[in-house]
Amino acid sequence: MNGQEENRTQKLLQMREEEKKPFWTPERKKDAWDWIVSLAAVVVIALLVRTFLFTMIRVDGESMRETLQDGDRLFVTVLDVKMHGVERGDVVICHYPNSNANYVKRVVALGGDTIEVRDGDTYLNGEKLKEEYIVHRSTADYGPLTVPEGTVFVMGDNRSNSRDSRSGSVGPLGENMIVGRVRFRWWPISAWGTVE
């Protein structure tokens, strides 16, 4: 028997011995467990980041035109809203009563403010707001309404086509229904920049 045949025979014997071993050896079990723990940790960290720090949102609809367009991708901070609340003029992600869907709207009034829409213009505490970002004015009057404490009044920038706090099924939103503040549009690249 020459050296090559001897090597082949040894390799065949070694392969047969490997085939006899069970698949789940202690080493493989440990490796699999390490992978499972690592993947679980990544999922938990991602959920914590999304819940408490920031998230990414896609605009779905026309209610924020011309500030935001259908399909825009947004960077939204969460923690600052949980810690400091929101201010008038903030563009926010919110939930509506009986819905977990995300809506993009602008905070127009805070608890204690009186809001009114008259002849296409918005009035806050009797003063007409300067809203240069409004291109599509409201076609219907609303209010006056004093916003209850602990709630915010949100409206879409496309005032003629937005289901928002003016709707009876929505109304003023509890502060706990504000998910986060829109900070940055990262898609499309041509519209990249801060959102105000």
Active-site residue set: 63, 105
Number of residues that this document lists for the chain: 196
Tokens of 35: 């992978």
138-157 in b/e form (b: 16+ CB < 10 A) is beeebbebebeeebbbbbbb
Q: How far apart are CA 40 and CA 58, in angstroms?
A: 26
CB-based contacts of 161, cutoff 8 Å, min separation 6? 62, 63, 65, 136
Contact yes or no for 81/180 (Cβ under 8 A): yes
Tokens of 135: 């291109």
Q: How far apart are CA 103 and CA 125, in angstroms?
A: 25
